[in-house]
Chain A
Amino acid sequence: MSSSTERPQGPNLSACGFNDHLDLLRELPIYNGVPLDVVKVLAYLSTVENYSAGESLCDQGEALDRSFYLLCGEVHVLRHVEGCEAPMLTRGPGFFFGGLGLLASAKALYTVRAAAPTQCLTLSKEKFLKTAERFPDILPKILHNVVAHVFRWEEAFLTAHAEECAARGNEMGLSLF
């Protein structure tokens, strides 16, 4: 999938769409250790959605009820603070977010908005939960991946921002939860 700048039209109609999606999901850290047969079901239940530039994929404060994988295009991650929009990040193809929203009710802390015509592979929370209900063994594996990510992220953050962290000590320590 190339990150074309023209507006993506229609669904992904190439003959091997499903297989591509399966490969993408298999490589996501959140599904690490989940058996192939289950990832297959998740890939099958995922749908391709198109967003035109300026359209938001999810809005800050609204329920985060699907996960997104950017197939092409570009998004800005923003946070509204007291009426102003503070841009935080810009991400391109391969960006995955919303995975935590699949696991429990959560409201998005950021607005993610398409900066260019964007195509995403999305999986709704409802379909994910129906699958997890039928393959409950995957939940501990996913939880493991989330915990591993929290620790890895905090360790990297602490290493990169050692001095600042020491100064703002009482706000740190997500991995202590």
Chain B
Amino acid sequence: MKLRPDIPDALYKRSLFSWVWTSNLKLQGILLIIIVVTVAVRVLPLEMQKKIINQAISLKRLDLLLMYCGYYLACVVAASGLKLAINALQNYIGQQSLTDLRKQLYAHILKLPMSFFRKASPGMVVSSLIAEVANTGEFVGQAIAVPVTNVLTLFAFAGYLFYLNPLMAVISMALYPIAILVIPALQKRANAANKQRVDTGRQLSTLISETISGIHEVHANASFRLENKRFGAMADKLFKVRVVWNLYKFAIKVSNNFFQNLGPFVLFLVGGYLAINGRFDLGALVAFLSANEKLYDPWKELMDFYQTYQDATVSYDRIMEYFQGDPEFTEEPADPRPPLALTGALSAKDLVLEVPGGIQLLKGVSLDIAPGELTALVGFSGSGKSTLALCLCQILKYTGGQATFDGNDIDALPKSDIADNMGVVSQHPFIFEGTIRANLLYSINARREAHGVTGEDGLPTVDEIIAVVQQVGLFADILRFALNSVFKEGKKENLVKKVVRVREAYHAGHAESLADWVEFFDPTQYLYFSSVAENIVFGTPNRDDLAPENLPSNPFFIGFLHDAGLKMLLVQTGAELASRTVDILKDVPSPDASFFEQSPITVDEFETYRDLAGRLGRVRLHKLSPEDERLLLTLALRFTPGKHTIVGLSHILEGLLLQGRAMFAERVTSDLPGAVTFLRREDYLYSMTVMDNILFGRLKTTSSKVVDQIQKTIVSLLIEEDMLERVLEIGLDFQVGSMGDRLSGGQRQKVALARAFLKEPPVLILDEATAALDNASQARIQNLLENKWRGRSTVIAVVHRLDTIKNYDKVAVMKAGRIVEAGSYADLMDKKGMLYELVYGAAARA
């Protein structure tokens, strides 16, 4: 007999049981041995029971009693210990198989063709990988242990009973067949009743939602009675159905108990009769009763296991059906060989792409592109220009004709060779969570990982990264990220000194022009773009308990607020901020961080403040709990009127806060000398961003034009101090947020372009890759393609805007899945064909 069945290569063809075979078989073997021991240990107590009664008690032998009880105890302890071991092994095997399945499934899903992802929702993939596969793991863990344990236990008990008394054994087991007949019949009826209950419930739900949606009509017609009657009839129907359903459920429970309890009755009747007649001893009767009771457990466990099996089969089959499909391309060459180094000659001959339904997106496209040539694909939307580009880089699989890359059939090339020799930038590039630097290196790191390269090998230097960043126009953005970062005290000491020098130089040259856009840290003015806490403290705290987040629970500070007459006013302000924010955002489904930029509440705190706002409606301000008061003070101290415009800053509060600033300074000087370094032009301000430090103030605007203008003047000063590179490095470590949501569309596009350029591939495919860029950036990229990449890499650009294609080597005009003309821009324009029509037609339309 073959021990291990054939397991198919394709994951989705594997059976549920195959996972048992690929689970940890060594552990499964140990598990089996433990099970056999366990079963023996389970039967022994029955024999001990018999011996205790027949020998120890009836012969009044204390030594025997102690000995048998000792054995009994040992068996019980051993059985419990072994049960724990079985569960632990089961759990380990199950979880290991689950992880194995998850990894393999994930690897399989990533390689599925694009067509799969067009119809699949990310949510379904997530729930499959996280929740639905869990059943399978549970099943694999139990697959051997549970049936074997329980069947063996059943047989062992039954065998023991036959050994004691065959007649009694037959009688006590005679009840099971009856139970097997009655209970499933009841179950069937209960299921039918349940189905009816669900149907009726659904009808009732439909009726309710209809009435609620049409509540205008109900009120307009005052049709309350009519609607109540409709609802009442349906509710009554549900009432009847539910009563019947519950009755069946109880009947099943009662019959179960009945059969279980009937056992001892038969045993007492027959066993008692036999015992009275001396044909059966008392000890055996007690053992029988125990065994009879214990027979039920393995039985029940087997039933539960069957349910687990059913659940696992259903979800496993559903998952495998959902993820059915083979990768369209091989991942790596069948025989290991060094990666191909290709020159970038691409050619398509009679290329056809047909999608289900017989629709041809490409209808026989032929095109030859020489290495280093700059080629533009143009045409109306739907003409197939993107489709052609995606076929050439293996993202889509063509169905007819032939496309080659340096003479190699693109269809047959492994994905690794394509990735090694091509860079692809799509119209909506994807940015992963992590730093800008990690995203810039994504393509390079993917290749390094694929070829098993470790360490620093194959990574570009910081200078190379910065050069590319500059080329794609991401320089200003990265500088901005760096200038918005906050240095921890004690770190980057060298840089800090330079920043202070830059501040001086900057103020000497630009102070006047800045006044419109910057609110300087002026001790005599209230700062609308700094928080209330910053306005009071007006310096950098040197003690942790004076850090902004700790102020609301600092007794010294609270005492100060009280004495300065600020406390209740601030609590009141906090209450207004909380109520306003909650009122505005309460109905927004899953608001993300960007909804909290204009409120002092952060996204994680929203639930807390929502509850607090509810309490504010019921409780007077001075009766709030100390915790609620602290929460409100926290908001008030963060309040920055220039940013949080939902609440205004009253003149009274402003005046009191300004006086408070002076009073706080006095108090710190007398009570906690040295606890705060007050803002001085000579010092670096550790609690603030680099930009705040250079400006010695805060920007009053978020306008990118103003920020760019200021940055431009800062750059030259940074260069003078020889710190530009260090600053940019800090910017490269900026966290882009989940799916890059802290970057704008243009920034994402630039990151994607830089990512492809850094790889320096022989072929660059740009699928409307500059569509989201402003005109200046678009021109910069165009310039780069024409001067840096022409001749070095083959560039295929899908282009929507025709004003950028004049200097391309080749322009291919597409219409309805065909190339209608191809040649140099000048030739095609002279011909006055499609391109001419496209250019002038479009111009006329604009």
Flag whether B590 is at the interface (Cβ < 8 A).
Answer: yes
A133 nearest CB neighbor, chain B only = B589
Interface string of A106-140 (1 = CB under 8 A from B): 00000000000000000000110011001100000
Chain B residue numbers with a CB within 8 Å of A134 are 588-591
Please, how many angstroms separate the alpha-carbon atoms of A11 and B771 in the complex? 34
Chain B residue numbers with a CB within 8 Å of A62 are 774-775
Chain A residue numbers with a CB within 8 Å of B650 are 15
B528 nearest CB neighbor, chain A only = A10
Flag whether A44 is at the interface (Cβ < 8 A).
Answer: yes
B645 to chain A, nearest CB (A): 5
Most chain A beta-carbon contacts within 10 A, residue among B588, B645, B649, B705: B645
A15 to chain B, nearest CB (A): 3
B590 nearest CB neighbor, chain A only = A134
Question: Which of B206-214, B542-550, B696-704 sits within the interface?
Answer: B696-704
Flag whether B585 is at the interface (Cβ < 8 A).
Answer: yes
Please, how many angstroms separate the alpha-carbon atoms of A52 and B649 in the complex? 25
Please, how many angstroms separate the alpha-carbon atoms of A12 and B644 in the complex? 11
- 6 additional contacts, CB 8 Å, given A10-B519, A13-B642, A130-B595? A7-B516, A11-B641, A11-B645, A15-B650, A44-B599, A63-B774
Flag whether A175 is at the interface (Cβ < 8 A).
Answer: no
Flag whether B3 is at the interface (Cβ < 8 A).
Answer: no
Within 8 A of A (CB), among B544-597: 580, 583-585, 587-592, 594-595
Number of interface residues of B (CB under 8 A): 36
Flag whether B744 is at the interface (Cβ < 8 A).
Answer: yes
Chain B residue numbers with a CB within 8 Å of A47 are 598, 645, 702
A37 nearest CB neighbor, chain B only = B587
Interface string of A33-77 (1 = CB under 8 A from B): 000010011001101111010010000011100000000000000
Contact B774 A52 (CB under 8 A): no
Contact B584 A40 (CB under 8 A): yes
A24 to chain B, nearest CB (A): 13
Contact B598 A41 (CB under 8 A): no
Contact B588 A41 (CB under 8 A): yes
Chain B residue numbers with a CB within 8 Å of A61 are 775
Contact B645 A18 (CB under 8 A): yes
Most chain A beta-carbon contacts within 10 A, residue among B519, B583, B590, B595: B595
Q: Pick the residue among A13, A15, A16 that contacts B528 (CB under 8 A).
A: A13
Please, how many angstroms separate the alpha-carbon atoms of A11 and B585 in the complex? 22
Chain A residue numbers with a CB within 8 Å of B774 are 62-63
B845 nearest CB neighbor, chain A only = A171
Contact B700 A10 (CB under 8 A): yes
Please, how many angstroms separate the alpha-carbon atoms of A157 and B198 in the complex? 59
Interface string of B635-650 (1 = CB under 8 A from A): 0000001100111111
Contact A14 B703 (CB under 8 A): no
Chain A residue numbers with a CB within 8 Å of B595 are 41, 45, 130
Chain A residue numbers with a CB within 8 Å of B585 are 41, 44
Contact B641 A13 (CB under 8 A): yes
Flag whether B772 is at the interface (Cβ < 8 A).
Answer: yes
Please, how many angstroms separate the alpha-carbon atoms of A12 and B642 in the complex? 8
What's the dominant secondary structure at chain B's contact region? loop
Q: A37-B587, A50-B701 are in contact. Are A126 and B744 (CB under 8 A)?
A: yes
Please, how many angstroms separate the alpha-carbon atoms of A134 and B589 in the complex? 6
Flag whether A17 is at the interface (Cβ < 8 A).
Answer: yes
Contact A130 B594 (CB under 8 A): yes
Flag whether A5 is at the interface (Cβ < 8 A).
Answer: no
Could you show 15 A-B contacts with beta carbons less than 8 Å apart? A10-B528, A11-B641, A11-B645, A13-B528, A17-B645, A37-B587, A40-B583, A47-B645, A48-B645, A49-B703, A52-B516, A55-B705, A62-B774, A105-B771, A126-B744
Chain A residue numbers with a CB within 8 Å of B642 are 10-11, 13
Please, how many angstroms separate the alpha-carbon atoms of A126 and B587 in the complex? 19
Most chain A beta-carbon contacts within 10 A, residue among B589, B642, B648, B702: B648
Chain B residue numbers with a CB within 8 Å of A135 are 588
Contact B648 A13 (CB under 8 A): yes
Interface string of A1-35 (1 = CB under 8 A from B): 00000010011111111100000000000000000
Contact B598 A44 (CB under 8 A): yes
Most chain B beta-carbon contacts within 10 A, residue among A7, A15, A135: A15
> Which 7 pairs from chain A and chain B are nearest by CB?
A15-B648, A18-B646, A44-B584, A11-B642, A134-B589, A17-B645, A37-B587
Most chain B beta-carbon contacts within 10 A, residue among A55, A127, A131, A134: A134
Q: Pick the residue among A15, A41, A55, A127 that contacts B584 (CB under 8 A).
A: A41
A122 to chain B, nearest CB (A): 9
Please, how many angstroms separate the alpha-carbon atoms of A39 and B701 in the complex? 24
A23 to chain B, nearest CB (A): 14
Interface string of B770-793 (1 = CB under 8 A from A): 011011000000000000000000
Please, how many angstroms separate the alpha-carbon atoms of A26 and B645 in the complex? 18
B517 nearest CB neighbor, chain A only = A50
B587 to chain A, nearest CB (A): 5
Contact A18 B771 (CB under 8 A): no
A35 nearest CB neighbor, chain B only = B587
B340 to chain A, nearest CB (A): 38
A110 to chain B, nearest CB (A): 13
Interface string of B754-777 (1 = CB under 8 A from A): 000000000000000001101100
B702 nearest CB neighbor, chain A only = A47
Chain B residue numbers with a CB within 8 Å of A105 are 771-772
B774 nearest CB neighbor, chain A only = A62
Chain A residue numbers with a CB within 8 Å of B703 are 49
Most chain A beta-carbon contacts within 10 A, residue among B642, B650, B746: B642
Chain B residue numbers with a CB within 8 Å of A7 are 516
Contact A16 B648 (CB under 8 A): yes
Please, how many angstroms separate the alpha-carbon atoms of A13 and B516 in the complex? 17
Chain A residue numbers with a CB within 8 Å of B594 are 126-127, 130
Contact B584 A17 (CB under 8 A): no
Most chain B beta-carbon contacts within 10 A, residue among A13, A41, A49, A130: A13
B642 nearest CB neighbor, chain A only = A11
Chain A residue numbers with a CB within 8 Å of B771 are 105
Chain A residue numbers with a CB within 8 Å of B580 are 18
B529 to chain A, nearest CB (A): 9
A61 nearest CB neighbor, chain B only = B775
A102 to chain B, nearest CB (A): 14
Please, how many angstroms separate the alpha-carbon atoms of A49 and B746 in the complex? 22
Q: A13-B641, A130-B594, A134-B589 are in contact. Are A44 and B702 (CB under 8 A)?
A: no
Q: Pick the residue among B528, B583, B587, B592 that contacts A130 (CB under 8 A).
A: B592
Please, how many angstroms separate the alpha-carbon atoms of A63 and B516 in the complex? 26
A26 to chain B, nearest CB (A): 14
Please, how many angstroms separate the alpha-carbon atoms of A50 and B516 in the complex? 10
B654 nearest CB neighbor, chain A only = A13
Q: A44-B584, A45-B595, A47-B598 are in contact. Are A13 and B649 (CB under 8 A)?
A: yes
Chain A residue numbers with a CB within 8 Å of B641 are 11, 13
